[in-house]
Structure formats: structure tokens, C-alpha cells
Amino acid sequence: MNKIFNLVCLSLLLFSTANAQTDTLINFFNPEGETLIPSPNGGFLSGSNGYNDSEKLQSFFPQQNYSVLGLLVWNGYVVNNSTSSDSKVSFKIRRLDTTATTIFPFYRGPAATLDSVMINVSDLLAGSSFDDDLQFIPFPNPVLITEPYLAGFSLDSLAKNSEGEFIDSFAIRSSAIDSALLAGYSWERWNGEFKRIVDTWGLNTDFAIFPVIDTTLNQATNLSISSFKIYPNPTHDYVVLNLENTIEFQQAYLFDLQGRIITEFTLNGFSKQHTLSLPNLSAGYYTLRLVGQSKMAVAPIIIR
């Protein structure tokens, strides 16, 4: 599938469309240059790689208050050799401490965790291409954002052997070396200390992990967030939804990655399966959001 150019320019568009109802922040990631960058010690730069790296984070600088519903993650590598149900990846939101320092990048970096969710390694997608690996990871409730923050994942709960080496592994895709439009947005925790990727590796790259946000949720709410599965995906003109319960959701909305509602659907509350006919859409990435009373569910859709 051809990657669409507006994915690269999305953040620029978001800053000029502050009235958009909902947005997905893609930052300055270059999908034309997506890749897995191997480390000399095994594994990948954007995941577990044998250097006692334990956390990968991408920073964001919001222009307004909003809530993060979850994370769009482009998985690149997933191994569950231990087959242990206790082997997990923790996806999280951290506050970005921009307090001034005397050393570059002149702020302190990752600070307190705002929220997190644990996902079994066996539940993470592991495909062979950028499109095949797209996954939505929901937070149980919207995470209110009022200041700079980071989105990413921790590897601390992956299974290890008796010598403390990872048995299971996980990595996400990243932009290719020097394809990122801005340097210094990606961070890692290595031997207990946070460093920017550009400082530790000398590479200007971004991680393929993006917050799905809602600009209308700008205060604490009891809304619960979940994910659901659809097929076929990728698709061209329709999708089928299989839901566990019949009356949780009444409406469905299809968004593009600029936060625009492309079309909406009324769901039959007495059916667990719904077939939605999609309009004539351009190839690219979209999100389908189901809405019910105090509930929302999100799933990514790829149009080819």
C-alpha cells in the first residue's frame, strides 16, 4: 500500500485546526521511511535489545488541553518464547519535565507516570509489514493532558531468564535514520537513566507510537475506553464488527487522522454483529469509534 503524504504533515495541520472534535497525533513521523533499526547487541533500537534498556518514549507538546484515549502502536517485533502469561508490556503516559537545566536538551525529561496499562505479549500483533502491525492500545479511562508529556512502553515486565536476560522481546517500528522532521523527540531509559535517542545513539528517529486524543474531553470523566476487532482489515468498502454485548454502543463514527468525521452510523442495539458500508475513501489510515452511554471503543482501519 502506498503511504499517504498527509500522514507526514498531520501535526502541522492539527495546530491549524484547533477546533477539530477529535484528533490523532502522528507528530512528525515519516511513514515512507518506517523501519526496524537493529542494535549491535541484538534486538532493535525501538525495543528490547540486550543493553538493559527498559523503556521507550515519544514526547509531545500539546497546544491545548485534551484527553488521550489510547495509543496507536505500529508493532515491529514480538516474541513470546517463554509462553508465560506473566510476560507483559506496560504502555504508559508520562509527564515531561521541562524545568530548565544547564545541559542539552535544557530540560529534565521524563517524569511521573500519569497512567499505564499492562498488555500480555501474546496479545500484541506481530506481522511482517508496517500496515499489518497496526494496533490500538486503550487506557481504561481517558488521560487528561494539560502539559507536555510522553507516550511509550516499559519492558520491565517481560519474561527474563535466571541471569536477568530477556526471554521474550518486543519492539515497535521507527522512522528511518535521519528521516524524522524534528530531532530529540524520542527517549529511552537505559541502566536506570533517561536519555534522548539522538544523544545515546546519534540517530534522529521517531518511534511509531501515537496518542489517539479527544479535544472535547478536557476534564476528568468516568468514560471507559476499550478496543474491538473488525474484519476485513485492511479493507476497501466495508467492515464487519463483532461485539460481545448488544446494547453497549449506539453510534459509530469514522475519523480520518486529521480528526474529521468522515461518516457516521446508527448501530442496531439488538445485534452483536454489524456490517458497515464505507464511503469511497482514499487509501490510508482511519479510526472507527463506537459510542455508548459512558463507553467508547476504538479500532484502527486501513483502507487500500
Q: What is the pLDDT along the chain (304 residues), one digit of tens a residue?
A: 434 323 323 332 233 233 345 667 776 787 778 899 999 888 999 999 888 889 999 999 898 899 999 999 999 999 999 999 899 999 999 999 988 877 767 778 899 999 999 999 999 988 888 888 899 999 999 999 999 999 999 999 999 999 888 999 999 999 988 787 776 789 999 888 999 998 888 888 899 999 999 988 877 678 999 999 899 999 999 999 988 776 788 899 999 877 788 999 998 777 888 999 998 888 988 999 999 888 999 999 999 8
Predicted model pTM: 0.88
| All domains of the chain in start order, with CATH | 5-214 (no CATH), 228-303 (2.60.40.3080)
Q: Residue 244: count other Cβ atoms within 10 Å of its Cβ.
A: 8
